[in-house]
Amino acid sequence: MMFDYETLRFIWWLLLGALLIGFAVTGGFDLGVAMLLPALGKNDSERRVIINSIGATWEGNQVWFITGGGALFAAWPIAYSVAFSGFYFALLLTLVGLFMRPLGFDYRSKLPSLNWRQNWDRALFAGGFIPALIFGVAFGNLLLGVPFHLDNDMRIFYEGSFFGLLRPFALLAGLLSVAMLVMHGAVYLQLKTEGDINQRSKKAVSLFAALTLVIFALAGVWVANSDGYQISSAIVHDAPSNPLIKTVQKAPGLWLANYGEYPLLWLLPGLGFVMGAATLLLSKIDRPGLAFISSSLTLAAIILTAGTSMFPFLIPSSIAVNHSLTVWDAGSSLHTLKIMLGVTVVFLPIVLTYTAWVFRVLRGKITLEHIHANDHSLY
């Protein structure tokens, strides 16, 4: 492959964003459906319909999350170290929440007891809500800056705490994450169900699509008036990775600098608002297939808005701004990025093709009659 070091670094930044979007679009509706389970399922049969709508795909959808973590580790090892050190307890809570999902799916219907099943329904709700909230809180903290610094030997020193992550803007970002994933899950349920569940899902889409748009707008105003980061020294895009050799400035409004330099980037937040509104309208006129596409584009646009606002920063430091990690100084070696790109070029199309095939095969609706006719083979 003839890509130079600068181009490879940029390609892997794009691929990391693509993996995050892939998880948000596929694993995101799983999390959204789990959060909607107690509210939309009024009895055990209806809750089984809801669970079975994602029962055949939820495990495969988590591949995107695992691959994203692996890509961060291999392509951006310093960023991986800072993130998994600084957000350790938050990530531990996320894993506990994710552990509730396979347990809930596999054990919920093992006993006929109503209390047994309701407790597993609560566990599934927690397994959707906790990761969705923490993912958003993590993104919010990246925009605010993370309290870490490096010494001359590149050792990482994190000065924060778990409760220090729960800053107002970070919590707002967490609420945005929850709202947009619940919207996405509600659209998926509208697509996969009929009758009462379908109508309740339709109402949930309207509510959470509106909430997503409102919170996204509030977050945008907040970011525009908050401190951002910008590299103020000369940037050597193809130099060996060393976060300590640059100068960074921190000032209000700098997260919008990329939009000022490249005005076309305003299309990304604009796409988020347009597709969010389209999701609401398409759901209302009973076009859930198109609504699912627009909902997916809403999620992608929101994630891309955050990513392009921060570019080239991966993890800014709030206590030693010059130690902030960027695309140009926190990546793996040229040889490593080349090998990883070759593997990605081979296997990513296979994963995408298989995923598309699975969803095509399983595109039918889940109904109460289906549940009752297959009582022993489904969740």
Q: What is the pLDDT of residues 60-97, one digit of tens each?
A: 777 788 888 888 888 999 999 998 888 889 989 998 99
Q: Which of 119, 166, 103, 141 is nearest to 306 (CA)?
A: 141
Residue with tokens 């995408």: 352
Categorize the per-residue pLDDT at 7 as very low, low, confident or very high, splitting at 50, 70 and 90: very high
Provide the CA 237 distance to its chain's centre, in angstroms: 28
User: pLDDT tier at 295 (50, 70, 90 boundaries)?
Assistant: very high
Tell me which H or E stretch contains 92.
helix 88-107
- 131's CB contacts (< 8 A; 6+ apart) are 31, 94, 97, 98
pLDDT digits (tens, 9 = 90+) for 144-186: 999 999 998 889 999 988 888 999 999 999 999 999 999 999 9
Q: How far apart are CA 243 and CA 209, in angstroms?
A: 40
Mark 22-61 as b/e (b = at least 16 C-beta within 10 Å).
Answer: bbbbbbbbbbbbbbbbeebbeebebbbbbbbbbbebbebb
Least confident of 105-119, 247-261, 349-363: 349-363
- Can you tell me the distance from the alpha carbon of 91 to that of 45, in angstroms, rounded to the nearest whole number? 34
CA distance 181 to 173: 12
How confident is the model over 302-314, as a mean pLDDT? Answer: 95
End-to-end CA distance of the chain: 47
Most confident option among 1-10, 166-175, 364-373: 166-175
For the ranges 66-80, 325-339, 342-356, the maximum mean pLDDT occurs at 325-339
Exposed / middle / buried, residue 341 (Cβ in 10 Å: 0-12, 13-18, 19+): middle
Judge whether 185 and 209 are in contact, CB under 8 Å: no
SS3 for 156? strand
Of the segments 103-112, 225-234, 344-353, which one has the largest average pLDDT value?
Answer: 225-234
pLDDT band of residue 377 (cuts 50, 70, 90) is very low
- Express each pLDDT in 36-48 by its tens digit: 999 999 888 889 8
Residue 340: both structure tokens together: 């990883």
In residues, how long is the chain?
379
> pLDDT band at residue 1, thresholds of 50, 70 and 90?
low
Please report which confidence band the pLDDT of residue 292 belongs to, taking 50, 70 and 90 as the band edges.
very high
| Rounded-to-integer distance, Cα 223 and Cα 140, Å | 10
Summarize the confidence of residues 210-223 as an average pLDDT.
Answer: 96
* Separation of alpha carbons 132 and 287, rounded Å: 26
Instruction: State the average pLDDT for the chain.
Output: 90
Residue ranges of the domains in the chain?
13-331+357-373
Token pair, residue 262, equals 């490249």
* C-alpha to C-alpha distance for 133 and 31, rounded to whole angstroms: 10
Statement: residue 221 has pLDDT above 90 = yes
Give burial (CB, 10 Å; 0-12/13-18/19+) of 193.
Answer: buried
Name the phi and psi angles at 28, rounded to 5: -65, -40
Mean pLDDT of 117-144: 94
- What pLDDT does residue 371 have? 60
Q: Which of 73, 137, 79 is nearest to 315 (CA)?
A: 79
